[in-house]
Structure 1
Amino acid sequence: MTEPQPPLHALAWGVKHSFLVYVAAVGGNVVTDGGAEASAEEFRFPFVGEGAPGEYRFAGRIRFRAHDGLLDVTIRDPWVRKTPVSTQVSVSDGSQRFVVAVGPAFSGQELSAVPLQLSERGTGLFHNTYPAFTDMDSVRFIRPSHDSRGGTHTRFPRPSVIEKDEVLS
């Protein structure tokens, strides 16, 4: 008998590594709010519930700004939708929701490092800088795990080459 999965805690997504490096290199900034948090190599969005079957909803906002606002990209309230053939990540622009990235289908209820590609609609989010099907960072679910003393803790990634201060300064 398989043990049931612990409840979802958050969605982890780095968005696009080279984009984060660029924003930092040009003196831009990254602001998180609405529950979204930044770690050294990815962002975390808290789980808020399930929608339609196979739809996992997360909250929070990340805003990337540089060049006195000429570069202004916001990732808001990502949802993950599991279909028989794909994994879709959608975001809200405040008035409508659209699929920003697509990857291969995941099995069961465990999303673990699914590689994504930018969707055609997602190109507009990045001001058409990246063409459709550009590789994005992988996305994954974070679940609390139980330690030997019966408590819970959440697994977060180790820091990478990009330091938090570089990305958020």
Structure 2
Amino acid sequence: MRGFSGMRAAVSGALIALGVVLATAGGGSGTTPAYAEGSDAADSTCEVSAATLTWGFKESWRAYIDGSIANGSWETSDGADYETPNFLWSVVTGSADASGTAGELSFTGSVHFTGHSGVLDMTVANPTVVLSGADSASVLIDISSKQEDGSVVEATQAAFASVDVSQAEVSVDGDTVSITDAPASLTAEGASAFSGYYAEGEELDPVTITYSLDASCSASESATAEAGTSSAAAVSSDASSAPASSESAVSSSGLSAGWTAAIVGVVVVALAAAAAVWLRARKGRVGQ
């Protein structure tokens, strides 16, 4: 019995030594797994530093105003301009994202249409472009229009035009996003504000908008994106190096090859000592 007790003591000592080595290796490695911590993305929109809205409004309307029937004209002011065949707005405030799918850009400037010796009198002003996804946008305007009876209908930021961004050419060049020739149509609210000149769904001139994001905001978003990419790469690297054997499992837990050799050595020595104790005990019993 003494031999077996000695053997148990030796094995226990080996296990204790093994535990010490494992604890030391785990604590001394100082290695912790790299995981990508999930976090909600910050607001994806940035302040717009510059923008231009290019929109002819409606070609047939301009032709009517400028023709021999209405004998009218139009004037731009407060930041709006006209370059045949489009009106231009470039005084802007607002924010948008870097892909052209979200944002709200408010422009300043008005266009005053007159005709029929003042009987026709309409002003459209301060358009706002609302980007509401990859496929759609809308144009809101302030509008004031004289009716046939002489009364004036006014609306502030009426949802005048529906814009089909999916049919536009969208391009990104550095901090600048361009949405070119997006088809537009008159909304029900727009038809009402237009004093019934055109019906809902009437085709309007295509809309083109180009905007540039604040450079500092773009740089910040770029850095955030790069950090996210690095984290994802770390997770991918950890996953691809998953242990395929018990030896790999030891290594992936943070143990170096040196520590692995030390552990094996301790176990071998401890087992050899246990075997020696058992043999001495056995010889002693035989001698008796």
- Cα deviation, residue 143, structure 1: 5.7
Corresponding residue number in structure 1 for 2:208: 140
Corresponding residue number in structure 2 for 1:54: 103
1:67 to 116, 123, 140: 116
Corresponding residue number in structure 1 for 2:45: none
1:105 maps to a residue whose letter is V
2:193 to 117, 125, 148: 125
> How does the TM-score come out when normalised to structure 1?
0.73
Distance 2:131 2:165 in 1: 7
SS in 2 for 1:96: strand
1:31 maps to a residue whose letter is E
Q: Mean Cα displacement is larger for which, 115-124 or 93-102?
A: 93-102
2:55 maps to a residue whose letter is W
Corresponding residue number in structure 2 for 1:80: 129
For structure 1, the residue ranges without an aligned partner over 5 or more in a row are 1-5, 145-169
Q: Which has the higher contact order (CA 8 A, sep 6+)?
A: 1
Alignment of 1:90 with 2:140, yes or no, is yes
Corresponding residue number in structure 1 for 2:52: 10
SS in 2 for 1:20: helix
Distance 2:66 2:49 in 1: 34
- Cα deviation, residue 125, structure 1: 2.9
1:86 maps to a residue whose letter is S
- Cα deviation, residue 7, structure 1: 5.0
- Find the structure with the greater CA-based Rg: 2
- Percent identity for Structure 1 against Structure 2: 25
Deviations 1:66-117 (A, max 9, x none): 1122222211000100112421000124762111000213567432111100
Q: Mean Cα displacement is larger for which, 111-120 or 134-143?
A: 134-143
SS in 1 for 2:209: strand
Corresponding residue number in structure 2 for 1:157: none
For structure 2, the residue ranges without an aligned partner over 5 or more in a row are 1-47, 97-101, 144-153, 213-288
Could you say if the C-alpha distance between residues 141 and 60 of structure 1 is closer, same or farther in structure 2, counting changes exceeding 3 Å? same
SS in 2 for 1:123: helix
> How does the TM-score come out when normalised to structure 2?
0.44
Q: Mean Cα displacement is larger for which, 71-80 or 106-115?
A: 106-115
User: Aligned residues, how many?
Assistant: 139
Deviations 1:11-69 (A, max 9, x none): 11000001101000121010110010011100001131115851011110001111122
Distance 1:50 1:103 in 2: 19
Corresponding residue number in structure 2 for 1:103: 163
Tell me if structure 2 keeps the 8 A contact 1:28–1:66.
yes
1:24 to 66, 69, 72: 66
Bigger strand share: 1
Runs of 4+ in 1 over 2 A off after TM superposition: 6-9, 93-96, 105-110
